[in-house]
Amino acid sequence: MKRKLLLSMLLCLVSATLLAGCGRKPATTADGRKKITLGAIYVNDNLKREVADFNKEDKEYQIEILDYSDNMDPVTKLNTDILSGNAPDIIGLQQLTPEQYAGKGMLEDLAPYFEQDEDIAETDLLDSLVNAMKIDGKLYYVASSFEVKTLIAGKETVEDDKDWSFQKMKQLLGTMEADMRALPFDSKSDRFVNLMHFGGGYNEFVDWNDGSCHFDCQEFKDMLEICNGGRDDTAAADIAGEDEMTQLTAMLKNGKILFVPGRITPDQILANRKMLGQDITCLGSYFSFSDTSDVVGIYAKSAVKEGAWRFLKRLISRQYQGKNLLSFWDMPTRKDCIEDYIKTMTAAEGYTDEFGNVITPLSEVECADGNVVKAGPLGAEDVELFQNFLNNTSQIIGYEQQIFAIISEEANHYFNGDKSLEDTVGVIQNRVSNFMNERR
C-alpha cells in the first residue's frame, strides 16, 4: 500500500515538473538573476536596444541574445534546436513556420498571459493581423511590425480584384502583345520569385493544421505555367542598368507592363498611381514579416516563461512601437500606432510627436522603378482605401525554407524542359507531403 502511494506521489511530481517546463531549470547570471535566452536568425538594432534596456531595468531576469546568423545555415540550426528540445526561451520566428511548432506543442499559448496582464491586451493589436496569425484559434506569437504584399495592376488592365486567380492571370497574359511584359523583370525565375512572394506563393496549397498539401491542383499548375512563359532575355533586377530602368519607366507609364509586385502602404498607394499614370487594382493582399520585424514566441518548455512574457509585451507596447515608428521598415502592429503612422502621411504641417519623432509633411514618394516623384499629404479617400486593405487582408504569406527549395528545384526542371507540368506537380506534391509528415 505504501509502495503504491509512493509511486502515485512520484508520478504526480513528475507530471507537475513536466507541466512547469519539462524539468528545465533556469540558469542564473553572475548577479543572481534568471537568464532568458533569445534566439533569432536575425537580430535587428531595435531589438538589441530593447534587450539592453530590459537588462538594465529588470531585477529578476536578464536576456542573453543567441544570434543564429553566425551559423552556416541559421534557419536549419534554429529549427533543429527547437525540434530537439534545445530551443531558446524566446524564439525569433522570422523565416520559420509557427504552425509546425504550435502543432508539436513547442510554442506557448499566449492567451492566458494577455488575460492576466493589466498593461496590454490582444485587442490593442490590429484585429485582421491577429486573426491571420492565430493557429487553431490560438495566438502563439506576436510581432512588432508587419507589411502587406500584393501584385499591383492599373485599372485599365484589371478593373477589380473580384474572383482574381492564377487562371485569370494566365488568360490575361495570353492576350499580351509582343512588346509587353507581365512584370518589370520578366524572366521565368523573376516570375516565380514574385508570384511566390507577392502573389500568395505556396501558402494556399499547404495546411499545417492537418499536415496536408495540394500542389497537384489546377491553380498551382496555372501558376507554374505563368512562370514558364517568362522571357529570359529581359534584364535581371540586380543587374539592370540605367538604360534598362529608363525603358521600364516608359513601359510602366504606357501600360506595357501589366503587374508590379509591391507593398501596400499609404505612400505606395500614391507612388504606384503616379508611376502607372492611373488608378490601381491590388490583386490579393497578404500579411508578411520581414527580417527586421520582431516576430517572437515563447518556448513551451521554458523555465522562465514569466520573464519571457515580460519582454514580449514590451515589443507590442505603445512605447516601443511609438519610439521606433520612423525606424521600422514595416508598419507597427498596434491600432493606436497604426493611427500615428497614418497621421505622419496626412499631416499638412510638421510636428514632433509624444515620442520625440520629428514628422515632416509628405512631399515626395519613391516608386518601384526607382524614381522619386512629388506627392502631397494623403487624402481621406486614400486613408480609407488603405484601412480597407488592412481590414480585409486575412492571410499570411508563409515561408518554409525547405518547402521553397523543393518547389524551386522541381519547378526549374519544368522551366528547363526536362519534365512535363504533370510530372513536376506530382513530384512536388509527393516531396512536400513527405516533408510535412516528417515534421508533424
Residue 13 in this model has a pLDDT that exceeds 70:
no
CA distances from 204 to 29, 306, 313 (A): 45, 35, 31
The pLDDT of residue 348:
95
Residue with cell 513601359: 251
The pLDDT of residue 2:
40
Q: Comparing C-alpha atoms, which of 306, 327, 280, 249 is closest to residue 48? A: 327
Residue 15 burial (C-beta neighbours within 10 Å; 0-12, 13-18, 19+) = exposed
151 vs 95 pLDDT, higher one: 151
Distance CA 114, CA 138 (A): 12
Q: Would you give the end-to-end CA distance of the chain in angstroms?
A: 41
Give the residue-averaged pLDDT of 424-436. Answer: 95
**Residue 240 — pLDDT band, cuts 50, 70, 90?**
low
The pLDDT of residue 356:
96
Residue 12 in this model has a pLDDT that exceeds 90:
no
Residue 119 in this model has a pLDDT that exceeds 50:
yes
Residue 118 in this model has a pLDDT that exceeds 80:
yes
The pLDDT of residue 3:
43
Residue 16 in this model has a pLDDT that exceeds 60:
no
The pLDDT of residue 20:
41
Q: Where in the chain is the domain with CATH 3.40.190.10?
A: 23-145+291-323
Residue with cell 513530384: 427
The pLDDT of residue 345:
95
The pLDDT of residue 234:
66
**Model confidence, pTM:** 0.89
Q: How high does pLDDT run on average in the chain?
A: 89
Distance CA 193, CA 216 (A): 19
Residue 243 in this model has a pLDDT that exceeds 50:
yes
Distance CA 179, CA 174 (A): 13
The DSSP bridge pattern shows strands 280-288 and 206-207 to be unpaired
**Residue 241 — pLDDT band, cuts 50, 70, 90?**
low
The pLDDT of residue 236:
57
**Residue 22 — pLDDT band, cuts 50, 70, 90?**
very low
CB atoms under 10 Å from CB of 438, counted, come to 8
**Residue 24 — pLDDT band, cuts 50, 70, 90?**
low
SS3 of residue 429 by DSSP: helix
Give the residue-averaged pLDDT of 169-177. Answer: 94
Query: Which range is least confidently modeled, 15-29, 162-176, 194-208?
Result: 15-29
Question: For the segment 120-143, what is each residue's pLDDT rounded down to a tens digit?
Answer: 999 999 999 999 999 999 999 999
Give the residue-averaged pLDDT of 73-81. Answer: 92
Distance CA 285, CA 299 (A): 30
Question: For the segment 310-350, what is each residue's pLDDT rounded down to a tens digit?
Answer: 999 999 999 999 999 998 888 999 999 999 999 999 999 99
**Residue 15 — pLDDT band, cuts 50, 70, 90?**
very low
The values of phi and psi at residue 319, to 5°, are: -65, -50
Q: Which residues contact 88 (CB under 8 A, 6 or more apart)?
A: 37, 38, 39, 66, 81, 299
**Residue 431 — pLDDT band, cuts 50, 70, 90?**
very high
364 vs 15 pLDDT, higher one: 364
**Residue 369 — pLDDT band, cuts 50, 70, 90?**
confident
CATH architecture of 23-145+291-323: 3-Layer(aba) Sandwich (3.40)
CB 373 within 8 A of CB 271: yes
The pLDDT of residue 353:
96
Give the residue-averaged pLDDT of 98-104. Answer: 90
Question: For the segment 251-285, what is each residue's pLDDT rounded down to a tens digit?
Answer: 999 999 999 999 899 999 999 999 999 999 999 89
CB 311 within 8 A of CB 110: no
Q: What percent of the chain has pLDDT over 90?
A: 73
**Residue 5 — pLDDT band, cuts 50, 70, 90?**
very low
Say what the alpha-carbon torsion angle 371, 326, 47, 393 is, to the nearest 10 degrees. -70
Reported in sequence order, the residue ranges of 41-171 that DSSP labels E, i.e. its strands, are 61-67, 90-92, 141-143, 145-154
**Residue 197 — pLDDT band, cuts 50, 70, 90?**
confident
Residue 31 in this model has a pLDDT that exceeds 80:
yes
